[in-house]
Each structure stands twice: as C-alpha cells, then as structure tokens.
Amino acid sequence: MRRLFVYVILAGLLPGLPHAEAAKKTSSRKTVAKPAAKKAPAKSAAKKKASPATSRATPAAKSRSYRPASVSKRASAPARGPWRTPTFADSTLGDHIDGEDLEVRRAAVEALGPYNGSIVVTDANTGRVLTLVNQKLALSGGFQPCSTIKLVAALAALKEGIIPRSGEFQLTGKSLSELTSAMAVSNNPYFASLGVKLGFERVSSYARLFGLGERASLDIPGETAGLLPARPPRNGGVGMMTSFGEGISLTPLQLAAFLGAVANGGTLYYLQHPQTYAEAQRFVPRVKRQLEIGQWAEVLKTGMKAAVDYGTARRAGALVEDPVFGKTGTCTDFAKAAHMGWFGSFNEAGGRKLVVVVMLTGGKPVNGPVASEIAGRIFSTLSRGDYFASSTNGGAPPVHGIGGCCAFSR
C-alpha cells in the first residue's frame, strides 16, 4: 500500500492533500492492529498513570527550569500503533537556562505544556538562542523533517528557475499549480514533482548550503549534525525526500538557523546559546556564510504567510496579530518509532524577528497544526507582554528576565 501511495504522488495523480492526511496513509500498513487497541480494559488505562515517583521532579530540577504544573497530571505512556514514543513528558528536566532570555523561556514552556517535544527560539538578526527547551532532545541525532523540507525544495527550485517568481509550476500535463497555495495546503505532489525536476544532486547541494547535515551552532555542547542521505531514499526516491523529508534527519537547531537566514534576507548565522548571564551580555554574532536568496526569500515568505493565514498553520494565525510566516510538518519517523509534529516559523514585529521552531514527538495527538498552535501562543504571549516593543533597531536583543517577571526560574 505504501509503495502504491508513493507511486501515485510521483505520478501527480492525487490532488493536494493536507500533509497530515497524507502522512497517515504512508504509515497505513503498520497500523492495521487498531481494533485490538480499543478492547483494552479500563484497568490497563489506570495502570498507565505515572506514579508519584516518576511524575515529580527533583528539587534540583525545579530550580533549573520553569515547569508547568500540568505536566505531572499526564501519563507518559507509550503511544499506540507504530509509535512507541510518549506523547506527554516533562520536557524541561535537565535544561541549563542561566544564559537564556527567561521571558522567552517562560512563554515557550507554558505554551508547550505537557507535550513531549522541543522548542528553539532564536533572534534571526544575530543567531542568539534565546531559549532551548528540552535541550537533550534538540541536540540529539535529529528526526525526519516531514513537510518542513518543502521550504528547502521551494527555495532551491526558485533559484534554479524551475519555477518562476510567480510560483506557477506545471504539475501535470493538464494543470498549473502555484507555489503560494501549494505551500499553504502542503501539496505533496507539487513538492515531489519539484524534487524530481531538481534531481537528487541539486536537492542535496542546496540542503547542505542551507545548513542541513552539519552542526548549526558555533560551539553548543552535545549538538549533532543530523543526516543527509548519500543516495536517493529507497522509499520513493527524491520525490519523497522533497515532500516528506524521507531519508533526512533534521534537528530543531538546523531548521531555526535556516529560517533565520530566510527571515533576515540571506545571512546564515552560527547559533550561539549563552551558558551564563555574563556570556549573554558579551554576545557577539558570528556569520557562517551568506546565502544569495534575498529575492527568492520574499516569494517563499508569501507561501509561508498563506499557511498561517488560511492553511495548515491557521491555528497559529488565529492567535497572533503581527505577521507570522511558517510551515508545518506531520509524518511518522519509523526509525524513531515516533509520530512527528513540526512547525518552523518567524515573525516580523517592532523591528524584531524571532524564529520559533516547535518539534513534537509522540503518537496520534501529535501533528504540525498542534505545533503551530504552540508557536502561536509563544508569539501571542510575548506580544501581550510588550516584548517586541523593547527593541526597534533589529539588533541584538537585551537580556530579559533577570530580576523581573522570571527571576524565580533561575
């Protein structure tokens, strides 16, 4: 069944499906045991509740991070079907936050709530990591990027002239598709066709140029480089690579660095995560390389804005007033036995551009639209607190949260 679906995508015979529905079909052959799950007795559900010993954080952990009270009320039970990763967990344990912007940290942790995931918030104009929630997960070997890879495919196709700046692209012999609407609804056949026309070598080359397959940070301890495949993936080839991220492992840091370059017009910064208040005060941006994407980034942003306004990320759009640009992603990472929910985004408010990347792991409740809502709550909370009014020059942000609203988090 899965091979048939891949064939149909590459042939361009399906209409643009929202990526969440398409992702469900790719995993259909591994979820046939669904009826048996419904017959589980009531006692088994009770057993899945976390014991007091597992749901309570140690005093040391509480002192290191802001933590929502709702986490301990959720069971960290493994997900059903092909997914074995818990949907709910305390995603703040072990985080080191002394050099973070604690106002941003609190907004991110409150928005994430009980979900098992990671959030990265960076300043697009400097590369400073303002907060990194669930640092262990964010610095791991990466996860399948799902439909967020479509940003890479679209930008590569624009630069190569495969699609004009208008975005119109000959999807099949009978129809024209347009980039903005394709991005808004995450049209899988559109982006699979882009991948086929680009070819594996060009897709890989642009992915590396944009920072995939290499460490995003200057010197964040423990960061891994993710993975770019050496050859087209066996499952669907380059078309699945550019529509679902097949064969790729992406970290939230890599997506944040790439989106920062899109937001600022082409400067790819090394991400830096200050470890102390003093380091944050001495912060100096470091440029990794310049990407010649300025004219194409504006076209890409139009599609990302459409996704937030009326597409797969409209849950974020319902919560924000200032412009937000983003792309969702939903799929199953079979290597990690996890259902993935991604949302990569940035805003434009008060001369300030923040990148917010949300990555959720777990089971059926996890998807890109849920991740977009979490990001929308972060932007909304910061806006209500006049965070974006504190800087109008687009430069390095001041250090927030030292002694003010979030001193208790230290």
* pLDDT above 60 for 284: yes
- Tens of pLDDT, residue by residue over 299-318, are 999 999 999 999 999 999 99
Between 18-22, 291-295, 327-331, the lowest mean confidence (pLDDT) is in: 18-22
Q: Is 327 helix (H, G, I), strand (E, B) or coil?
A: strand
pTM for this prediction: 0.79
DSSP state of 330: E
| Across 355-375, average pLDDT | 98
DSSP3 helix / strand / coil % (the chain, rounded to 5): 40, 15, 40
pLDDT at 75 over 80: no
**Residue 203: is its pLDDT beyond 90?**
yes
Q: What is the pLDDT of residue 168?
A: 67
Domain extent listing, the chain: 80-409
- Secondary element (H or E) of residue 176: strand 176-178
Confidence of residue 247 (pLDDT cuts 50, 70, 90): very high
In this prediction, residue 82 has a pLDDT band, given cuts at 50, 70 and 90, of confident
Read off the pLDDT band of 390 (50, 70, 90).
low
What pLDDT does 389 receive? 85
Task: Using the predicted structure, report yes or no on whether residue 399 has a pLDDT greater than 70.
Answer: no
Cβ 360 vs Cβ 144: under 8 Å: no
pLDDT at position 19 over 60: no
With a cut of 50, say whether residue 61 has pLDDT above it: no
Q: What are phi and psi of 238, to 5 degrees?
A: -65, -25
Q: Which two tokens stand for residue 286?
A: 């470091």
- Confidence at residue 20, expressed as pLDDT on a 0 to 100 scale: 41
Q: Percent of the chain at pLDDT above 70? A: 72
Six token digits for residue 70: 């709702």
Angle of the 237-244 helix axis to the 19-26 helix axis, nearest 10? 130
| H-type alpha helices, 84-134 | 102-112
Res. 393: pLDDT tops 50: no
Mean of the pLDDT values across residues 116-122?
98
pLDDT of 44 over the 50 cut: no
On the question of pLDDT at 111 being above 60, the answer is yes
Has residue 35 got a pLDDT over 80?
Answer: no
Asked whether the predicted pLDDT for residue 347 surpasses 50, the reply is: yes
Place 243 in a pLDDT band, splitting at 50, 70 and 90: very high
Q: Which of 62-71, 164-173, 384-393 has the highest mean pLDDT?
A: 384-393
In sign, the C-alpha dihedral spanning 72, 73, 76, 82 is negative
Is the per-residue pLDDT at 184 higher than 80? yes
Q: Which pair of structure tokens corresponds to residue 257?
A: 């660095």
CATH number for 80-409: choose from 3.30.70.1020, 2.40.420.20, 3.40.710.10, 3.30.420.40.
Answer: 3.40.710.10
pLDDT at residue 363, as a whole number: 96
Task: Give the residue, 5 or 338, on which the prediction is more confident.
Answer: 338
**Confidence at residue 15, expressed as pLDDT on a 0 to 100 scale:** 40
